[in-house]
């Protein structure tokens, strides 16, 4: 047991060191970075497709798409208009880590990028413990899941800055209670920014887009004020 704990601490320590390097690199380039996390099928890729369609001509967007075995998500994003996207295939690992992200950053064109999306592997457990150098985590759940997800996976919701509740168009076909889900989430993390959306119908997405614009503006304003 002692050896296992020692190894885990060493792995996390090295990950945190690399994550700090990534954060500094992105900060120096004034890039907003978001780590999207969810259980499988919640709609991370669909949300990114919608975001690309709406904002690709307005913001310079880069993406890293993580998956366990395929490059399907990266290919979907490329078809949606992403010209600056790289794929990470973990080969079975249940999360991305800072080493993987650092390698892909070297392959992206970052000179004019304003926002970087990192689409993590579908999992609400392992990704909670690994800093990728992002500004914030965004956790997604959908109305086809249980509204008690925030209570089942509190570490992920506690470490996230925003919650996206997707597939609101399916509320009539499930027992999911939006207000109960929000209450559970805010019990775990009272500072969560919450969005209710449907990637299929477009409901609620304008608020998401406005928030992304605001993040980019704040990053630029912060840099200007420091100078």
pLDDT per residue over 36-71, tens digit each?
Answer: 999 999 999 999 999 999 999 999 999 999 999 999
Q: Look at residues 212, 198, 115, 194 and name the one whose alpha carbon lies nearest to residue 157.
A: 194
Give all strands of the β-sheet with 136-142 in edge-to-edge order: 85-89, 61-67, 115-119, 32-38, 136-142, 160-166, 193-196
Q: Look at residues 220, 216, 219 and name the one whose alpha carbon lies nearest to residue 58.
A: 216
pLDDT of residue 225: 42
Per the prediction, the chain carries an average pLDDT of 93
CB 63 within 8 A of CB 84: yes
Kindly tell me if the per-residue pLDDT of 2 is higher than 60.
no
pLDDT grade for 92, boundaries at 50, 70 and 90? confident
CA-CA-CA-CA torsion sign (158, 117, 8, 41):
positive
Kindly tell me if the per-residue pLDDT of 5 is higher than 60.
no
How far is it, in rounded angstroms, from Cα 211 to Cα 216?
A: 9
Cα atoms in the Cβ-side hemisphere of radius 13 Å centred on 90: 20
Kindly tell me if the per-residue pLDDT of 6 is higher than 90.
no
pLDDT in tens, 135-177: 999 999 999 999 999 999 999 999 999 999 999 999 999 999 9
pLDDT grade for 7, boundaries at 50, 70 and 90? very low
Q: What are phi and psi of 217, to 5 degrees?
A: -65, -45
pLDDT in tens, 139-150: 999 999 999 999
Over residues 111-117, the mean pLDDT reads 97
């Amino acid at each position: 047991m002692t050896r296992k704990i020692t190894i885990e601490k060493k792995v996390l320590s090295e990950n945190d060191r690399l994550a700090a390097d990534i954060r500094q690199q992105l900060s120096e380039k004034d890039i907003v970075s978001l780590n999207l996390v969810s259980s499988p099928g919640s709609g991370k890729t669909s949300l990114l497709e919608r975001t690309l369609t709406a904002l690709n001509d307005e913001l310079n967007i880069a993406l890293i798409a993580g998956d366990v075995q395929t490059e399907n998500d990266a290919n979907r994003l490329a078809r949606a208009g992403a010209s600056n996207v790289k794929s990470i295939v973990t080969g079975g690992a249940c999360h991305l880590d800072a080493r993987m992200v650092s390698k892909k950053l070297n392959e992206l064109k970052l000179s004019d990028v304003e926002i970087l999306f990192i689409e993590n592997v579908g999992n609400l457990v392992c990704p909670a413990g690994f800093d990728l150098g992002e500004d914030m985590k965004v956790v997604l759940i959908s109305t086809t899941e249980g509204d008690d997800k925030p209570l089942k996976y509190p570490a992920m919701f506690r470490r996230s800055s925003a919650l996206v509740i997707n597939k609101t168009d399916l509320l009539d076909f499930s027992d999911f209670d939006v207000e109960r889900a929000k209450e559970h989430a805010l019990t775990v993390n009272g500072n969560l920014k919450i969005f209710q959306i449907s990637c299929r119908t477009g409901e609620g997405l304008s608020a998401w887009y406005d928030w992304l614009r605001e993040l980019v503006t704040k990053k630029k304003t912060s840099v200007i004020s420091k100078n």
